């Protein structure tokens, strides 16, 4: 029998795409589906998914949990756990359409919740940290349950299938968001587990990623020192945790985080002025284990905006474009032109050169 993701490490190739409106204007999921669908050949029908920001304005102060259940027992256990730790304001099944190619569908539920005050006191944690711990506990302790996303005013829609079919299945044309990211997966072998599809999320971080990182175990063993549990054995998971640690917990500015993840080469560092050199050296010395080595292109999204980044020697494709208040990033230029035939500017970012797009009036990607 094939092992489920998390018990085995499965390399995968991929397509990624992201569209954002910097003014926060909401737009439907039609374009992102069109964009990722154009790169059909880059995935193999074994995983597709989307992250959307701004979709739940009426519940924007509540944590939106999207959860997969593989059997009703898992749902019961999880709901018992959720009731104990959260006030559930609203819950229900996530509406879907029947699509012939989408099979083995789990129970897909969503909850709008707030942590219970008494539990926060008891655990002595900030709200966000509390949510992180609870999500990790559900994912690692409750068999058959998987929290797909847990941020505010955002959600992830993913599954096994080509991304365009997944988009159709989740009726993304009926949602409106100001950031959409998408992922089409080409795993080399997988029993087709819905939780293994991308994007991967934590709080309102979501990551879509194309690549197979060679530094995986160095990154994993380092991040686990800080209390994260890498249950899926995927690159995307470990990358998400690294972002969360560096940005949210260590409070580092985004440019420093980028320098750690896709560090400049020593040749380049040697040419920097003394002060900069000292800083970058310190980053490489202290965060050497956070260096993501090997091919990747990623789009990190959160409520404030997106960051797109390539590995430092650009072993995976990534193209960016702008048109008015819109920013586009995709594995291929064609995927951008499919939805925006005449962009104002199109460019291929250099290895390690970030593309950062933030909402107007926001200073950094966090908080």
Give the interface with another protein as residue ranges (CB under 8 A): 9, 11-13, 188, 211-219, 221-222, 224-226, 250, 252-253, 255-256, 263, 265-267, 275, 278-279, 281-289, 291, 293-295, 312-313, 315
CB of 290 to another protein, least distance (A): 9
14 is catalytic: yes
Cα→Cα distances 224→216, 227, 229, 241, 310, Å: 12, 5, 6, 9, 24
Neighbour tally for 250: CB within 10 Å: 14
Cα→Cα distances 179→50, 136, 236, 328, Å: 10, 25, 19, 10
CB of 263 to another protein, least distance (A): 7
The span from the CA of 216 to the CA of 357, in Å, is 27
Q: Are strands 48-53 and 154-159 parallel, antiparallel or unpaired?
A: antiparallel
If the CB atoms of residues 74 and 245 are measured against another protein, the closer one turns out to be 245
Cα→Cα distances 210→85, 159, 285, Å: 35, 17, 27
If the CB atoms of residues 9 and 137 are measured against another protein, the closer one turns out to be 9
If the CB atoms of residues 278 and 344 are measured against another protein, the closer one turns out to be 278
The span from the CA of 38 to the CA of 29, in Å, is 15
The span from the CA of 346 to the CA of 316, in Å, is 17
If the CB atoms of residues 312 and 337 are measured against another protein, the closer one turns out to be 312
Please name the residues in contact with 153: beta carbons below 8 A apart, sequence gap of 6 or more: 53, 54, 55, 56, 57, 59, 60, 64, 204, 303
Tokens 């711990």 locate to 133
If the CB atoms of residues 24 and 294 are measured against another protein, the closer one turns out to be 294
CB of 260 to another protein, least distance (A): 9
DSSP line for 313-344: T--S--EEEEETTEEEEESSHHHHHTT-SS-S
CB of 331 to another protein, least distance (A): 16
The span from the CA of 173 to the CA of 258, in Å, is 33
Q: Would you say 349 and 308 are in contact if contact means Cβ atoms under 8 Å apart? A: yes
The span from the CA of 367 to the CA of 364, in Å, is 7
Cα→Cα distances 10→1, 232, 316, Å: 15, 10, 18
Neighbour tally for 238: CB within 10 Å: 29
- Bridge partners (DSSP) listed for residue 345: 322
CB of 184 to another protein, least distance (A): 16
Catalytic residue among 14, 134, 230, 340: 14
| CA-based nearest residue to 213, from 309, 284, 149 | 309
CB of 212 to another protein, least distance (A): 4
CB of 11 to another protein, least distance (A): 4
> N- to C-terminal Cα distance for the chain?
44
If the CB atoms of residues 219 and 240 are measured against another protein, the closer one turns out to be 219
Catalytic machinery residues: 14
């Amino acid at each position: 029998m094939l092992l489920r993701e998390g018990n085995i490490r499965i390399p995968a190739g991929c397509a990624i795409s992201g569209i954002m409106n910097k003014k926060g204007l909401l737009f439907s999921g039609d374009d992102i589906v069109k964009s990722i669908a154009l790169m059909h050949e880059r995935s193999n029908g074994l995983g597709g998914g989307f992250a959307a920001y701004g979709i739940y304005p009426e519940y924007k102060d509540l944590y939106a949990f999207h959860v997969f259940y593989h059997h009703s027992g898992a749902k019961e256990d999880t709901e018992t756990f959720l009731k104990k730790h959260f006030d559930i304001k609203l819950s229900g099944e996530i509406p879907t359409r029947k699509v012939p190619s989408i099979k083995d569908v789990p129970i897909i539920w969503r909850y709008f919740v707030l942590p219970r005050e008494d539990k926060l006191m008891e655990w002595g944690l900030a709200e966000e940290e509390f949510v992180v711990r609870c999500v990790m506990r559900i994912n690692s302790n409750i068999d058959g349950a998987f929290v797909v996303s847990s941020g505010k005013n955002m959600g992830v829609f993913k599954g096994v299938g080509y991304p365009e079919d997944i988009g159709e299945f989740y009726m993304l044309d009926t949602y409106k968001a100001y950031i959409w990211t998408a992922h089409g997966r080409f795993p080399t072998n997988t029993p087709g587990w819905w939780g293994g599809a991308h994007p991967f999320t934590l709080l309102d971080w979501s990551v879509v990623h194309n690549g197979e990182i060679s530094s995986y175990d160095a990154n994993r063993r380092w991040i686990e020192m800080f209390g994260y549990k890498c249950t899926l054995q995927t690159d995307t998971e470990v990358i998400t945790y690294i972002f969360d640690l560096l940005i949210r917990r260590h409070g580092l500015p985004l440019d420093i985080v980028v320098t750690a993840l896709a560090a400049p080469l020593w040749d380049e560092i040697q040419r920097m002025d003394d002060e900069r050199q000292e800083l970058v050296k310190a980053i490489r010395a202290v965060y050497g284990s956070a260096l993501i080595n090997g091919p990747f292109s990623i789009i990190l999204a959160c409520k404030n905006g997106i960051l797109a980044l390539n590995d430092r020697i650009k072993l995976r494709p990534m193209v960016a474009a702008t048109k008015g208040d819109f920013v586009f990033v995709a594995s291929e230029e064609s995927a951008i032109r499919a939805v925006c035939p005449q962009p104002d500017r199109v460019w291929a970012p250099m290895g390690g050169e970030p593309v950062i797009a933030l909402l107007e009036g926001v200073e950094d990607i966090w908080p």
